[in-house]
Structure 1
């Protein structure tokens, strides 16, 4: 059985979620550059404005806010295990409980649950930022990536960003991966086109697809 690396905070708790959202861009100002890179890469590969986008670990809506501006006609599903984070995202995005107001759907699911993919359908774009390590052990990453590959349509792209353990990165080598390990976990999941898009401030953004 894989050892569980405990998290120092509980993002399901409102206070912890609010503190994370308040300090995320302060602690890692490079996040704004990564968010812009997500939109730039997505724009290159989106063949239509009304694309379907799935975000894993959507948190307080930083990335969703940017992508919804880039693709205002898209269908966006924000998946997170924390209702507190969804509340923050709704506030950020101005989304009421009426789903007709904005092209976004909030799903409370945990991608540690093997059934999290049920009923989601196919996507043109799946994105995740600073969330893969919430699997709480790096050995689970290839399983997550395999599930993601099953949700992509034939021309879909996967944009995945997380901390790494190379120079300037994290020190916990059980929770976090090196850039080479990140690429290997994507290859193990069946992605045959993997490209490092951006590496900065201890984080790496990869694009992966199968066509």
Structure 2
């Protein structure tokens, strides 16, 4: 069986964004990804750790981290004011620890908009929407530039799984290519930690994602 896996988004439209957020409400596999990312953050420790999330979206990852780690400060970057409004409701009482930063990851100057230097950079289900391997590679390079030595990048995102006969939109590509791009950006020992909701035979646009980790 063959087909095409991809999605079209209207992330500046309030109705679309709320529907998207409802569809992506955390499920057990998604929470498992959140827990894996949180574990990497917790390993860094430190009383002054600043976490940056690329593609804050509806705020599910941010809420998960802030509920379970009482010491980190958090910065959510997104290009959608509509998503910021949804995220504020999701994050709720933890918003005093959050900075919202509006920026487009396709603009290579996005790091200049950050409130401070992060020690950890996270992203979930976002970078594939940049539309190409080149765009993802550029984000990886900027992340390496802004992280301190020992800082981490953890990316949970959709990929094109090995062995598939399906075609995937350009932003969803193989794990090995992600690891190659991370090495090219300068990261040491990038790794794929786990794959989630693998489906080779009849995949949907919400399946086949992975947790990638790399250290500066």
TM-score by length of 2: 0.85
Q: Which runs of 5+ in 1 are unaligned?
A: 1-5
Root mean square deviation, CA, Å = 2.1
The 8 Å contact of residues 25 and 32 in structure 1, kept in 2 or not, is answered as no
Runs of 4+ in 1 over 4 A off after TM superposition: 167-170
Q: How many residues align?
A: 199
Instruction: Name the residue aligned to 1:3.
Output: none
2:127 — aligned with what?
Answer: 132
Q: 1:23 to 1:106 in 2, by over 3 A?
A: same
Paired residue for 2:111? Answer: 117
Q: Does the alignment pair 1:106 with 2:100?
A: yes
Distance 1:199 1:95, change over 3 A: same
Q: Which has the higher contact order (CA 8 A, sep 6+)?
A: 2
Q: Which runs of 5+ in 2 are unaligned?
A: 1-5, 198-207
**Pairing 1:200–2:199 present:** no
Q: Does the Cα contact within 8 Å between 1:12 and 1:84 map onto a contact in 2? A: yes
Q: Name 1:153's counterpart in structure 2.
A: 148
**Residue 204 (structure 2) aligns with:** none
Once residues 153 and 70 of structure 1 are traced to their aligned partners in structure 2, the CA distance between those partners, rounded to angstroms, is 24
Taking structure 1 as the reference length, the TM-score comes to 0.87
CA distance in 1, matches of 2:55, 2:183: 22
For residue 33 of structure 2, give the secondary structure of its aligned residue in structure 1.
helix
1:73 to 1:16, Cα distance in 2 relative to 1, 3 A: same
Contact conserved, 2:131 with 2:169, CA < 8 A, in 1?
no
Give the superposition deviation at 1:54. 0.4
Q: Partner residue of 1:144? A: 139
Indicate the residue corresponding to 1:171 in structure 2. Answer: 167
